[in-house]
Structure formats: C-alpha cells, structure tokens
Structure 1
Amino acid sequence: MQTREEKFDRFKALHERDGAFVMPNPWDAGSARLLAHCGFEALATTSAGYAFSVGKRDSFAGLTREELLENARMIVDATGLPVSADLEDGFGSAPETCAETIRLACEAGLVGGSIEDATGDSEAPIFETAEAADRVRAAAEAAAGRSFLLTARAENFLWGRPDLADTIKRLQAFSEAGADVLYAPGLPGLEAIRTVCREVDKPVNVVMGLQGATYTVSELSDAGVRRISVGGSFARAALGALRRAAEEVLRNGTFTYAADAIPDREISQLMSAEKR
C-alpha cells in the first residue's frame, strides 16, 4: 500500500493533467470500495451523503467534526486511493478552528479537503470576503508541509446570492490566501463555468448531479475544468433505487427490482478483494 505522501503526489498530479478527471463521492466504506473497483482514480467524502445514511440532513443539522472525520477515516482505510474530504465550514467560524480541522483531517489519512464560505446562518449565510479569506489562509498554513491539497469553496449560488462577479472575486481572494483548488458549486451554466476557469489561476472543481443542466466530462474539460465531483448525488441515486424497490413491493407485491441488484457473490468478492 502507498503511503499518505505517495497518495498526495498521485492526487496532486491528477490536477496537473490535461482535461478533467472525475472524483466521485462515496458516503461509507462499502460505497468507496465499489467506486474504487469501478476504476476511479480518487475519491471524496460527502457530508450530505453520510448525513442521509445516519438519518440527518447535513453537518449544519447536527453532524459533528468527529463524526465526519471518523467516516472519512473509514473511507480512507477502505481503498488505496487518495481521498479528499468535504470539511464543510471548517466546523467553526474562527480561522484557528479551520486550521485545527485541517490538522485533524491529515491525521485521518486524508490528502485533501474543502473549506467553504457558508456560515449556516440563514440570516447571514455567507462570510464576508475578508473573513472568508482569513479562514482559507489559516487552513492553508495548517496544510503547508502536510501533503494536503486545500480546496476553497465560494457558496454564493447555493445560498440565494447569484452574483458571478462576487463569486470570482472570492475565488481569487481564496487563491491568494493559499488555496490549491477553487470551487463554486451551483454555477448557472457552462458559460459561467468557462468564465470562472478563465478568471482564476488554480484548478477548478465543478459538481455535477445537482438539479438543472448537466454537462459531459468532455464539455467541462473544454471549458477549463480540472476536477468533477458529484456531491451527494450518488447517495441520492442509491436511495432512489431503494425507494423504487420498496414502492414496488408495497404497491405491486412484486420483486422485480432484484434483477438490477448486484449479485451477492459479486458484491461479496468486491468487498473482500485487495484494496484498489
């Protein structure tokens, strides 16, 4: 098995290739092993997907830093792939708290993670730019020398602030503060994505699987995107399949859903196979 430092080198190199790579988001160790065996080159945790699996909405609705990092540790241990983590808002407004979160993430075996500028406060959902940049700077300083790729997220479009110019200014400030990757979830279209990629100087992550238009890996690569994640959408897809199976049994009294299920022997072999 590779060391954490070797995984970091692999992860960093993925961002330096031409075109975009897809980094899917498992929500537990089992889904991580399945995605690794599918052939993906890196994984990222999803706080939303994990929250769904334990009957909660998201970390703002009650998941603790300890819970999310323990889930991340199990995903790290499940495969030999580099793993980045959704670290939400850093689990506190103070820059020092964000820095501590990065240090703990490194101890959990993660080689990357994201800090967002959302506050969790519906009255003031986004940190002011200077404060948000200070938080990113503290996280970047904590990551320095620790083989950790820091992603900074500008959350305007997820919180009713569809201001592309401000989003770009935030991403530029985050880059100057030391972020390695930049991410603005919920951008309204391919032209906005292309504009963001053109106006910043670091690799850009784009999430697919949200509501609205979707684009191919090729289209996103042509727009300048380097990394594509899926957030909680794989977890929601799995829950959708579960609901369809349950509704078939309850409404029809039939069990045809089993035809699309992974055979027990196949999934057992996958879960016991050598890590990938």
Structure 2
Amino acid sequence: MAVRARLRRRVTVRPDAATELERLHHGATPLVVLNVWDVFSAKIAERAGARCIGTTSAAVARALGYEDGELMPRPEMIAAVARIASATKLPVTADLEAGYGATPDDVAETVRLALESGVVGFNIEDGYTAAQRRDRKAPLRQLSEQVERLRAARAACDRAGVPDVVINARVDVFVREVGPPEARVDLTLERAAAYVAAGARCIFPIMVRDRAAIGELVKGIAAPMNVLALPGLPSLRERADLGVRRVSGGGGGHRQAMAAAEQAARAVLGDGDLTALWTTP
C-alpha cells in the first residue's frame, strides 16, 4: 500500500498530456501506439520515436504472473501503470480491460486511480472476460449497460479536471464473432455511435481485418478509429488512406521479446551456444 501511495504522489494528474494525446488522434498521419508492459519496454518505445506510450493488459499481467482477463488485481495493475507513467514525459494510455468492476461506480474508481497515476487515456472494452462469458452465456455486455459504464468513466475524467482524456472504447463484435459476418459492421456502428455519445473519443473495433469493413467503419463512426496491427492487414499508408487514425501494436512487442528470449534459452540449453545470450536477433 505504501509503495502504491508513493507512486501516486510522484505522478500527478496531467491535463496538458491529455490534450496532447487527443491532438495526436487528429494529426496528418495515424498515431502508432507501441504497447508496453514495464518501464524498460516503455523506454525502448520512447527511444524508437513513439509519440505516446500505451500499455497492454495481457503483457502487464503476464509480467506479474497472471493471465489476461482482469485476473491481475486492480492495485497491481495500477501500480504497474504508475511506474510506466512516472518514467516518461510522453502521454500514456492504459489498457484498463473492462474497467475492473461490476458497476459503473467501479469503473469510475478504476479511472480515478489511473488518472492519479499519470494516465491520460485508456481503453475500456465491452466484452466479458472468459469467466464471465461462461457464467453469463453472452460475449458482450448489453449496450445500455456499457453506455452507463462509459458515462461513468467520462464523468470521472471531468471530476479529475482532465476533460480531454481519450477514452478508447473497444468494441468486441469482431473478436467475439458476434452475429453473422455480414452483420458485424452494422452491429459495431450501432455500438460505436452510442459509445461516442457517452463520451468515447476513439473507437477500437478490435480484430477487424477486412479492408472494406475498415473503410465502412471509418465512414460511419463520428470519432477517430483505432485498429490492431495484425498480419496481412493493409500497410500503415493504406490504413491512413482509409481514414484510420490510430494503430495499436497490442501484445505484439511482448510476443517478440519473449520469442527472442526463448530462442536464446533453447540455443544455450539445447545446443550449448552461450553466444546466443549476447547475440541480438
């Protein structure tokens, strides 16, 4: 508890950084968000020229010994995000999963803690966790319920004095394969419109892959659109031409880092190649 308190005191609420992050969503080129999981990976992104820093819930959780899906306790997630925010002057946007709680008030409290930790943007997703999907027999929250959660998140930002915070509302229609394929664009647009009205500043239809679907969504959403950097998708230039305003790396950087570590470990233990520990892939 003392450690978390010190972290919160070290980083104050950052309204100017929130304004900068919001501005970056309307620049001449898409905002590329490299998602990190600790201070060192954040420093790598910063040195590489990142304009902001994003976290990835899956990698943060696994670095702390948990799996994704809000299995990492909220205080540990906030402490990890606070360490990252305290180590960079860049705007930080955090993956807050579904908001860590059953009620809109729970979401508001998570947002308050994140803002006090130096975060100036965050993802909130409308899908249930794996355990919740099993219990509820449904992939997504009801639209009206998610709207109330986003309204609570926006109100928490306003109370904290950071009205420019970018709420990146993740829509899980594509990743959860909700409805027939031909209906998913319309289902996403319905949710996106409601989320923008509730205070979202960016919409993230995670796992949308089809170029035509991306184009339709960009045209139909009254806010910047975020896509995930997936293999086989259009290039960054093509995404810009389609109107995409934000591209997220998700867990890709962490997967690359862990794959390199495993490759080196296998070379040492399997082949006796000690130089693998010192050779950059």
Contact 1:19–1:222 under 8 Å retained in 2: no
> Given the superposition, is the C-alpha separation of residues 15 and 2 from structure 1 closer, same or farther in structure 2, using an over 3 Å criterion?
farther
Matched, 1:229 2:229: no
1:245 to 245, 251, 264: 264
Show structure 2 runs of 5+ residues with no match: 1-10
**Which amino acid letter does the alignment assign opposite residue 110 of structure 1?**
V
| Sequence identity (%) | 34
1:73 to 82, 99, 106: 82
Pairwise CA distance, 1:96: 1.3
Q: What residue is the counterpart of 2:280 in the other structure?
A: 260
Please give the alpha-carbon distance, in whole angstroms, between the structure 2 residues aligned to 1:84 and 1:191. 28
Matches within 5 A, 1:35-184: 35-60=45-70, 62-120=71-129, 121-122=132-133, 123-144=137-158, 145-146=161-162, 147-161=164-178, 162=181, 163-184=184-205
- RMSD, aligned CA: 1.8
Matched, 1:189 2:203: no
TM-score (normalised: structure 2): 0.87
Q: What residue is the counterpart of 2:22 in the other structure?
A: 12
Pairwise CA distance, 1:95: 1.2
Contact 2:209–2:233 under 8 Å retained in 1: no
**Which amino acid letter does the alignment assign opposite residue 215 of structure 1?**
P
**Which amino acid letter does the alignment assign opposite residue 109 of structure 1?**
G
Q: What residue is the counterpart of 2:228 in the other structure?
A: 207
Pairwise CA distance, 1:125: 2.1
Q: Secondary structure at the match of 1:222?
A: helix
Q: Secondary structure at the match of 2:25?
A: helix
Q: How many aligned residue pairs are there?
A: 258
Q: What residue is the counterpart of 1:270 in the other structure?
A: none
Pairwise CA distance, 1:39: 0.9
1:34 to 41, 44, 51: 44
Q: Secondary structure at the match of 2:124?
A: strand
Please give the alpha-carbon distance, in whole angstroms, between the structure 1 residues aligned to 2:237 and 2:33. 15
Q: Secondary structure at the match of 1:16?
A: coil
Pairwise CA distance, 1:150: 1.1
Please give the alpha-carbon distance, in whole angstroms, between the structure 2 residues aligned to 1:94 and 1:14. 31
